[in-house]
Structure 1
Amino acid sequence: MLQNRFRHTKRYREIMNAFLKNGFSHILFRLGITDRTSSKKDGAVMNMQDIGVKLRLTLQELGPTFIKLGQIASSRRDLVPFEIADELEKLQDHVAPFPFEQVKEIIETELEMPIDSLFTEFEKEPIATASIGQVHAARLSSGEKVAVKVQRPNIYHVVNKDLTILSDLARFLEDNMDWAEAYRLQDMVDEFARSLRDELDYRVEARSGERIAKQFEGVPTVHIPSIFWDLSTSKVLTTELIHGVKVNDLERLDAEGYDRERIAERIVHSMLDQILMAGFFHGDPHPGNIFVLPNNVISYLDFGMVGRLDDDMKYHFATLIIQLRKGNTENMIKTLDAMGILSDDTDMMTFKKDVDHLQSKYYDVPFEEIKPGAFFLDLFRIAYRHRIQIPTEITILGKSILTLEGFITKLAPGFSIMSAVEPFGKKLIMERYSPKNVLRKSLLHWKENIEILTDFPKDLKELSTLIRKGNLQMNIHIPQVQMILRRLDQVSNRLSFSIILLSFSILMVGLIVGASISGETNMLWRLPIIEAGSIIASLLFLYLIYSIFKSGRM
């Protein structure tokens, strides 16, 4: 960390100054990042909303890496207080465009041809700008109109430097703060880094778009822009230019005679098809990424963020919705446990009460009136209260549904997303338990078992070799191990005490018998040794009996 800190001293200073300027000096001191002198300036107590506002301004000032970090943090309501998450949702990704001269240079360097040879027309003013890149409209020699996304100059090095700094800070906090270690802060930063680096490679976005396009092959109601691979690299992405109406431009939709109810139905059904059937879905379906084409056709744009659900996670999500409708708390908890949400440290009694309260909140509400976005928010509140870290794919799913619900409610107020979810969920459960799927899973398990049996002699040989060489190590984790060790210590002390008492008693009996046989006196230094010893032994015996009864263990 020290080496990186010297190498990135200027950027470290910029980050620290931004947080100090916006009133975070006291928090930085508490985290062990700054000294006490810098924390004296603002010791005033801030509420969560104030912190959220100041944090949003700070991240906005620090640029693309921190803006993206804030946007992702806003979806992690299992980890971030709701007041802060609400503020971080307001982070804007729009920044001033960079000059056309730089656009031209990047395109010609990446595609290794003059821009005039690649495009017959190229608009110098961008039609959209963001912190990572900007989009220009252009025309090919074939006459097709295209959208050319160009990455900002030097953005990769800026982001990479910030990610290195964030990784260093996460490691520092994990080493010094229990909460950072409990939340596996380093893993979270690593995951964020992977996601952001993927976003910096436009080829990843292009492949994601093509994968979703394949899901809707032969579906005339959904359109995904085609990719021009010969005009695309990691820093330049050329796609079909979409001319349509933004899904939240309600006045224009009404003026041009679009059917808002049908549009809402097609958006929701196409998203649920991505989520519950394909398990690969658009991770950021906000209104700017969804256009409506003639005949109420839906077109999705920008696949920089996608979500993935495996078969088990899809099934658990569907089961959770169905159990919510049935009002079955026990099965809801079992499903959450199967999703990997619960941990050994979860207080199950309190958690069950919270899930009971969640279920009762929706019990008297007609199913079609339940809002899945609100359900996810309630689930994230419970997770935050119990310090449960929800899997990333579930948070992306929750964010997508929340975003969807936000504009669908305005687009078609009477449309029920939950009613649309139910048939998909039932279909998913039916497929899971269909004879074909059961047979396929049985064959898969049979194959895995055969492989285990085949490898068993080799594994046994390796184990015996380790034992023979004395290299076998065993790591055993026992909950409440300290309490168990303390009890064992008490038991061993009591046994030792009993043995000493027994030895002392035998010694006294020996003295009494010896004195009787020899007829000698039992006085030592004028003290009655045998009588005194008998009294001491009796007292020790009574103390032992008392301590056993006091412990409640016979």
Structure 2
Amino acid sequence: MAVPSGSRARYRRILRFAALSLAQTWWYDLFLPRVGLRGVAERTRSARMQRIARRFHALAVDLGGLMIKVGQFMSSRLDVLPPEITKELEGLQDEVPPVPFAEIRAAAEAQLGMPLERAYDWFDETPVAAASLGQAHRARLTPADATLSGFGAVVVKVQRPGIDEIVDVDLAALRRVAGWLSHVRLVSDRVDAPALAEEFAATSREEIDYLHEAQNAERFADEAAGNPAIAVPQVVWERSTRKVLTLEDVTAIKISDVAALRAAGIDPSEVAHAFATTMFTQLFRTGFFHADPHPGNVFVTPRPASADAAAPPWTLTFIDFGMMGTVDARLRAGLRTVLLAVTARDSKRLVQGILDVGALLPGADTRDLERAYATLFARFGGMGFAQLREVDPREFRDFAEEFGDVVRTLPFQLPENFLLIVRAMSLTSGVCSTLDAEFNIWESIEPFAGQVLRDEGGNLVKDVVGQISAVASTAWRLPQRLDALITGFEEGTVSVDMSRLERRLDRLERVATRGLSAVVFGILLIGGILLRATDEVFGVVLMAASVVPLVTTLFPMTGRRRR
């Protein structure tokens, strides 16, 4: 993609940060271990990762745009990034200085095709919230629109002017960085960086299309229509476009505001239970779920006194449907296995469920992972948050040190929807623990596991019959296949594929070449630095010459095909 001249500085700034971080990581985690200084790299790794994360945090806040979304996305990639980075970025908030109202007015009027005074009866110039992609303002519909909609108070989301170009530039930079990472074996052996970039790009494109968000809101409302405990704001389609979204104003008590809930006579522990049940129903039954249920996106709305005694005294009101997830058939089957394994504290079955959802590459050695989960279940399984708080922090640290490397070295690659599930469950448990220190997430999951067990029981006979049929079919064909194989050996028609061995030899050759290049690079660079103090010209020449072996190491050429 050709980057517009006005955005080149932004583009170069992102690439410069990525290049410096990659070079630093290469030096400490690849070069130093090869020259016998692995201890230096390991002692400084945690502090280095934290520094990189802090620099990115500052860069994201300064640039805005998609960079804040990138940081939030990275903070949830526990399968790819070390905990020092995910921990540092998890507090990155999507709050930036608001756009001047004159620019927001111009953008909204261009989208709506009329002055704001004609589109709305009143429009508050002070934003309710300002984010990196857009900002929200309170407004009131005209009498005619209010009569048609059945309500007057609305919240209007308006995209920031020029956000399309910023998104294009940021995605172009991210794709370039992903291309670099795909040539670094330390990364490419564990994660498909270009695929991650495309996954993030698709999610970002959907999030800046407000019509897509409006459709999500209506679908979510349709699926929750039979549940009086859930409310969803209505969309004002006549005042909504791809870049302007007008929704019913449903602002109420923030779900994490314990003091306000108690003041309204609402028991926070009941809210925690209802919220967990609502989220797990979306995840394990309906299959269409809110993937960003943080406290700012969920309100508790008290109901007026009603003659219907069965109606709940309050509702959970969800907003912001830009990030939604779906559970397909394969993912649902894998989740059932995971759910049953967690409930039964079965580490082997849990690992099988992780394989079923595609979160681990086939063929991975999972024995250490099974042992890690077995230890986790034995020590912490079934504990509520209050009980976990009483555990000596050294136990958690010892567990992380013993099994953290096991998890991070396995070929994890979480599918997008599974990542959204992990995010939704993590946010759910966090909100519930804020509402009720005694909240036990295991107890909330168990009813769903019980239903899954009942569902699984109905399919047990069918599964057994299918397995018997498969075994019988294999046994029936086995004598014929053995006879054909023996005949092939006798006639000399059986060939052996040596391509895998050849590929391994190619790989060894490339590793040796890269190792030699790394040593040459280190000698030239360090020698140039030392000589620069006495002979600046020669020192600079050596430092410049070190770029050639560095490029050979970072971007190895494909090994020649053996004949």
TM-score (norm 2): 0.69
Q: Point out where structure 2 has 5 or more consecutive residues left out of the alignment.
A: 29-40, 147-151, 303-312, 390-395, 467-496, 507-563
Preserved CA contact (<8 Å) 2:354 2:360? yes
Change (3 A) 1:106 1:380: farther
User: Which structure 2 residues correspond to residues 387-426 of structure 1 after superposition, within 5 A?
Assistant: 387-426=411-450
Structure with greater Cα Rg: 1
Preserved CA contact (<8 Å) 2:119 2:141? yes
Residue aligning to 2:11: 12
User: Which structure 2 residues correspond to residues 274-289 of structure 1 after superposition, within 5 A?
Assistant: 274-289=282-297
What letter corresponds to residue 350 of structure 2 in structure 1?
M
Preserved CA contact (<8 Å) 1:122 1:136? yes
Please give the root-mean-square deviation of Cα atoms over the aligned residues, in Å: 3.6
- Tell me the CA shift for residue 219 of structure 1: 1.7
Q: Point out where structure 1 has 5 or more consecutive residues left out of the alignment.
A: 32-42, 443-475, 486-554
- Tell me the CA shift for residue 160 of structure 1: 0.8
- Tell me the CA shift for residue 16 of structure 1: 4.5
Preserved CA contact (<8 Å) 1:259 1:296? no
TM-score (norm 1): 0.70
The one of 291, 313, 317 aligned to 1:299: 317
What letter corresponds to residue 397 of structure 1 in structure 2?
I
Name the SS of the counterpart of 2:414 in structure 1. coil
Distance across 2 between alignment mates of 1:238 and 1:380: 46
What letter corresponds to residue 347 of structure 1 in structure 2?
D
What letter corresponds to residue 280 of structure 1 in structure 2?
F
Residue aligning to 1:109: 110
Distance across 2 between alignment mates of 1:284 and 1:363: 26
Could you report, residue by residue, the CA deviation over 1:346-403 in whole angstroms, capped at 9, with x for unpaired residues? 22333333333333334585899789xx9xx989975423232222222221121111
Residue aligning to 1:501: none
- Tell me the CA shift for residue 345 of structure 1: 5.1
Preserved CA contact (<8 Å) 2:229 2:314? yes
- Tell me the CA shift for residue 293 of structure 1: 0.6
Worse-superposed segment, 293-302 or 350-359? 350-359
- Tell me the CA shift for residue 231 of structure 1: 0.9
- Is 1:258–2:258 an aligned residue pair? no
Residue aligning to 1:155: 163
- Is 1:84–2:85 an aligned residue pair? yes
Worse-superposed segment, 83-92 or 58-67? 58-67
Residue aligning to 2:248: 240
The alignment of Structure 1 onto Structure 2 pairs a total of residues equal to 434
Name the SS of the counterpart of 2:125 in structure 1. coil
Residue aligning to 1:361: 379
- Tell me the CA shift for residue 264 of structure 1: 1.4
Could you report, residue by residue, the CA deviation over 1:259-279 in whole angstroms, capped at 9, with x for unpaired residues? 212211221111111111111
What letter corresponds to residue 11 of structure 1 in structure 2?
R
- Tell me the CA shift for residue 437 of structure 1: 13
Could you report, residue by residue, the CA deviation over 1:172-214 in whole angstroms, capped at 9, with x for unpaired residues? 3313545236411000001100101111101111111111111
Preserved CA contact (<8 Å) 1:77 1:380? no
- Tell me the CA shift for residue 218 of structure 1: 2.7
Name the SS of the counterpart of 1:347 in structure 2. coil
- Tell me the CA shift for residue 47 of structure 1: 3.2
Could you report, residue by residue, the CA deviation over 1:425-458 in whole angstroms, capped at 9, with x for unpaired residues? 222343355479979xx9xxxxxxxxxxxxxxxx
The one of 315, 321, 335 aligned to 2:339: 321
Distance across 2 between alignment mates of 1:285 and 1:107: 27
Residue aligning to 2:219: 211
Preserved CA contact (<8 Å) 1:18 1:62? no
Preserved CA contact (<8 Å) 2:343 2:449? no
Change (3 A) 1:365 1:91: closer
Residue aligning to 2:66: 65
What letter corresponds to residue 324 of structure 1 in structure 2?
V
- Is 1:53–2:71 an aligned residue pair? no
Change (3 A) 1:425 1:255: same
Residue aligning to 1:98: 99
Distance across 1 between alignment mates of 2:445 and 2:359: 22
Change (3 A) 1:222 1:436: farther
Distance across 2 between alignment mates of 1:370 and 1:477: 54
Name the SS of the counterpart of 1:120 in structure 2. strand
Distance across 2 between alignment mates of 1:82 and 1:28: 15
Name the SS of the counterpart of 2:81 in structure 1. coil
The one of 24, 27, 46 aligned to 2:24: 27
- Tell me the CA shift for residue 482 of structure 1: 5.8
Distance across 2 between alignment mates of 1:25 and 1:436: 51
- Is 1:340–2:358 an aligned residue pair? yes
Distance across 2 between alignment mates of 1:25 and 1:319: 38
Preserved CA contact (<8 Å) 1:432 1:438? no
Residue aligning to 1:349: 367
- Tell me the CA shift for residue 331 of structure 1: 2.3
- Tell me the CA shift for residue 150 of structure 1: 0.3
Preserved CA contact (<8 Å) 1:316 1:339? yes
The one of 223, 235, 242 aligned to 1:227: 235
Residue aligning to 2:181: 173
